[in-house]
Chains A and B, each alone.
Chain A
Amino acid sequence: MAVPRILDSLRGAATEAGGALLGRLQHVRLPGLGQSSTTEDPETAARRWRAVTVLCSPEQVGTGADLPAPLAALGDRVELRITPAPGDRGTELAARYRDRPSDDDLRALRSALRESKQLIEVGEVLRVDPAPHGVRRPTPQGAALEGMTRRAGGEGVL
């Protein structure tokens, strides 16, 4: 294999590793740091409701085909819970899969909730790319970070 192909392959692996690392980051528990309670088994964690609070009335979230497009696209695979938030904080919009979701499914749900919130509150989904930048000299750290940012809209503790 030619050297450039090996380097390309290594960069691809670093990008994948960066994305995967971000996916695992919120579950990392180092002794003496951060969360003191137990972590749940993957089955229980995957079944949790994932929720955003949207500054609107419950009616403005909509139902069925009137839901914001990113949530409507998930169809019947997800169930929704729409309840007023306490203290005039808006509406709690929660969703979870009816069946056992994959990691990709969960990323899609997180993105859909975040994008739906933006559509209701602001009217559009914020875009950052393409952003001006200089020459991206290929480095393992850069490739890993690219993997992280590709997945960052669908990862996190949501």
Chain B
Amino acid sequence: MRAATWTGVNEVSVETVPDPQILNDHDVILRVRRTTTCGSDLHLLGGYIPFMRVGDVLGHEFMGEVVEVGRGVRERKVGDRVVVNSFIACGHCWYCRQELYSLCDNGNPNPGITESLWGQSPGGCFGYSHAMGGWAGSHAEYVRVPYADVGAFVVPEEVSDERALFASDAVSTGWMGADLAGTKPGDVVAVWGAGGVGQMAARAAMLLGAERVYVIDRLPERLAQVREHVGAETIDYSRTDVLAELREVTGGRGPDVCIEAVGMEAHSSGIQGAYDQVKQQLRLQTDRPSAVREAILACRKGGSVFVLGVFALMVDKFPLGALMNKGLTVRGAQVHGQRYMPRILEHMARGELTTEHLATHVMPLEEAPRGYRMFKDKTDGCVRSVFVP
């Protein structure tokens, strides 16, 4: 089959690779119908997560049609049109039973790497390096889906492929951030990052009853999408002092909930931006956390900060004093998507959650290298490149 693979730092190729096989009883094989780039892929591409091997198949946000099922699969059958969560979770361990699916004890066959880095190992993720299990990704004609009864959800007839695709990760991640940050009716919510995940965190906050939602970014086309498709207000951080603006629009309190949807390659201006760039390039810190810092400083006393962006290891100049003295709750997670996808698909079927606008560039899989270039450089207003194998 054809697949898009990582072939070096900032280098993607499309090549012929072996077809996937059923290896466990709970597997299905999916014919991929849609698969999309995600901002977190850029950390892999750029070499910031040094556990990729040349030839690894990329992609973790996808949907498709079941073409083969393992003998232990009970809920899915050949012909089902399904969307699959990006994290691989067994559904049986204590973490899965608590609906903390991305923390699954059994979904990562390489726990030695992540235990050594973080003390414990989270679950596995499709196409996201050998640290996260070495699973082949979805930018391919076919993909193997382990634990398919747990992670693959049938798409309602009235939901298009383009809409369902983003339930896989962008919407479920955004929804999780808004939910686990404790968003309540009447809250003011601020979201850093107007990519797919940030937009969907904002939309989820609105559906959970937030009174006002602000999304912060610098790219005009993304901020325009937020206003037009999400219905939230926007702040351009390249023109506006974000802390001052948020204080002003919240009566001096600060947002009740702050959601960071940027990750380890955050842009920032001035001395902070230069400082973080230099330290990251010298490997004195692995991540650039400017959006997290700002979220902590912006948040109201006793408020909640949720870290949705992907971080690898260590950061510097972390405002621990603000966190402690303001009594903040700070939480983060990879996506517990299995917990939210049934509800998300219902919202999608009712037209309350639309995502088609995120797919600004839809192209054949063969054009994946171009799609990633556009996505990385943010040219031609690219929010997401979507591949059709």
Contacts and interface: CB of A to CB of B under 8 A. Distances in A.
Given A128-B109, A152-B130, 4 more contacts: A134-B15, A148-B112, A152-B110, A157-B119
Contact of B130 (A25, A55, A149): A149
Contacts of B136: 131-133
B7 A137 contact: yes
Interface in B24-69: 24-26, 50-57
Contacts of B330: none
A118, A126, A135, A137 pick with most chain B CB within 10 angstroms: A126
Contacts of B50: 141
A131 B135 contact: yes
Nearest to A52: B105
Nearest to B95: A55
A6 to B, nearest CB: 20
Contacts of B272: none
B54 A139 contact: yes
Given A121-B90, A121-B93, A135 B54 contact: yes
Contact of A156 (B53, B92, B111, B140): B111
B121 A156 contact: yes
A89 B95 CA distance: 9
Contacts of B24: 124, 126-127
26 contacts: A26-B116, A55-B97, A117-B105, A118-B90, A121-B106, A122-B90, A123-B25, A123-B72, A124-B25, A124-B26, A127-B109, A131-B57, A132-B20, A132-B140, A133-B53, A134-B7, A134-B17, A135-B55, A137-B55, A141-B50, A142-B54, A145-B52, A146-B53, A148-B130, A155-B116, A156-B111
User: For chain A, what secondary structure do more than half of its interface residues adopt (helix, strand, loop), or is it mixed?
Assistant: loop
B21 interface: yes
Interface string B248-291: 00000000000000000000000000000000000000000000
A74 to B, nearest CB: 19
A114 B113 CA distance: 14
A98 interface: no
User: For chain B, what secondary structure do more than half of its interface residues adopt (helix, strand, loop), or is it mixed?
Assistant: loop
A85 B44 CA distance: 38
Interface in B105-140: 105-107, 109-117, 119-121, 124, 130, 133-136, 140
Contact of B106 (A126, A129, A133, A139): A126
A146 to B, nearest CB: 7
A22 interface: yes
B13 A134 contact: yes
A11 interface: no
A130 interface: yes
Interface string B1-30: 101010100000101111111011110000
A25, A134, A146 pick with most chain B CB within 10 angstroms: A134
A153 B106 CA distance: 11
A89 B119 CA distance: 19
A58 B52 CA distance: 39
A148 B113 contact: yes
A133 B53 CA distance: 9
Contacts of A124: 24-26, 72
A51 to B, nearest CB: 13
B174 interface: no
Interface of A: 22, 25-26, 33, 52-53, 55, 89-90, 110, 114, 117-118, 121-124, 126-137, 139, 141-142, 145-146, 148-149, 151-158
Listed from nearest, the 4 A-B pairs whose CB atoms lie closest are A155-B112, A156-B115, A152-B110, A134-B55
A21 to B, nearest CB: 10
A128 B54 contact: no
B314 interface: yes
Contact of A151 (B19, B112, B115, B120): B112
B318 interface: no
A78 B172 CA distance: 44
B20 to A, nearest CB: 5
A22, A52, A133 pick with most chain B CB within 10 angstroms: A133
Contacts of B107: 126
A126, A131, A132 pick with most chain B CB within 10 angstroms: A132
A133 B57 contact: yes
A158 B5 CA distance: 33
A110 B121 CA distance: 14
Contact of B111 (A136, A146, A152): A152
B121 A134 contact: no
A22 B57 contact: no
B94 A53 contact: yes
A10 B146 CA distance: 35
Nearest to B107: A126
Contacts of B106: 117-118, 121-122, 126
A153 B53 contact: no
B53 A136 contact: yes
Given A124-B25, A128-B135, A55 B113 contact: no
A48 B51 CA distance: 30
A30 B251 CA distance: 45
